[in-house]
Amino acid sequence: MAAAPITMSFAGSWLTTFGQMTLEQSGNGVRGVYHYGNVEGRIEGTVDHSHTLRFRYQEPQEQGEGTFRLQRAGRFAGSYTPAGDTRARAWVGERGWDGIWETEFGRMRLLHEADRVHGSYEGAGPSLIEGSVKGGRLEFCYREPRAQGEGWFEQYDEGYLFAGEWRAQGVAQARSWRGRRVQAERGITWLLVLEAHWQRSLAESEYAFGHMLREVFARLPQVRVRQRFFHDADSLDHWCRELAYIPEPAILMVASHGVAEGLSVHGEVIDTTRVLNAVRDAGNLKLLHFSSCLVGLDGQRALNKQPFAVSGYTTSVDWGASALLEFTYLDLLLNRGLEPAQAAAALPKLVSYCGDLVHAECPYPAAGFRFFSAASG
């Protein structure tokens, strides 16, 4: 299938969480139809100035409402809520070259804007790819840590597969490069725990916050838990980049010692902004939580106005106090189905010490919890 030109509009064909969808847009009005399995659904709504579509949907056995936000020409992200329910579920759509692809060189993440396709893959280390669509073919250049070159891809099987060639600079022979689209599994959310080693000497016993989290939340059938350790800025960058190759919604927790300027790891301070930049293009990220003392105390401007929600502490939060708070926070998100802003709003009612003040009988110091909503524009 040749990838047709795409524009910053909802109009056109999409590959979505619930199958293929075709939308028509006239002014700010949108209507269309989608199919998954033997079910046909219809959708109708209006778009506002922020490229957000608020819609109602109708299926033979279900109806409800939701929102899609056009993140770029090739992708929308949003959620839907069935009538009579309060829990929102993810619903995303892709078209053109936008999305995650399983290829012969590992997973590749592509972003399709109106006149540009660009992305990354990790097969030979951090690698970049960029090009444009010409006559239905994506013509690109790539750059790896120790090589660079050019190539082309063409889609087939209705946009679920591609085939093409790559050729290294200075080499005459081209080689095959194939891939298949990776789509999100419905109803799944990932909990990713990136953790520094807490121990500073052999005298200290081994412990890890992520071990406890995995034991509790891996029991939930709708949750995928992964824990990875980092020891410096480069290793943290690597695991943050990996987030871009997961199609399902994700909650990221970064756990380490902290100072006001950022994360403290083996005597090195990793600036908070570096972590934010490392995950900025991960369109699946719902929440980044810093489980670290003092992170954001002097950098709250950096934590604000991100494309995803961010939370953390402004105090030297007690280990036990943070554990109780965060187990509650994550259970609201992963088990009770609350959105990050809803979970953050519920915390002061459930955990009395999470804010800046505590009552006289409370055995825990104030945690100084802070929450920053995802930017809407």
Rg over CA atoms, the chain: 22
**Which residues contact residue 90 at a Cβ distance below 8 angstroms, ignoring those fewer than 6 apart?**
17, 77, 78, 79, 184, 248, 249
* Predicted local distance difference test score (pLDDT) of residue 300: 57
Q: How many residues does the chain have?
A: 377
Task: For CATH 2.40.128.30, list the domain ranges present in the chain.
Answer: 99-182
- Residues in the chain predicted with pLDDT less than 50, given as ranges, are 1-3
What CATH code would you report for 99-182? 2.40.128.30
Cα(85)–Cα(344) distance, rounded to whole angstroms? 21
The pTM of this model reads 0.87
User: Does the domain spanning 189-372 belong to CATH 3.40.50.1460?
Assistant: yes
CB 161 within 8 A of CB 155: yes
| Structural tokens at position 342 | 């809803």
Helix or strand run (H / E) with residue 272: helix 272-278
| Structural tokens at position 38 | 């033997």
Beta bridge partners of 225: 191
Amino acid (1-letter code) at residue 323:
A
Amino acid (1-letter code) at residue 117:
V
Cα(47)–Cα(76) distance, rounded to whole angstroms? 13
Cα(199)–Cα(201) distance, rounded to whole angstroms? 6
* Predicted local distance difference test score (pLDDT) of residue 2: 45
* Predicted local distance difference test score (pLDDT) of residue 297: 60
CB 169 within 8 A of CB 180: no
HSE-up of residue 291 (Cα within 13 Å, Cβ side): 28
* Predicted local distance difference test score (pLDDT) of residue 1: 43
Task: For CATH 3.40.50.1460, list the domain ranges present in the chain.
Answer: 189-372
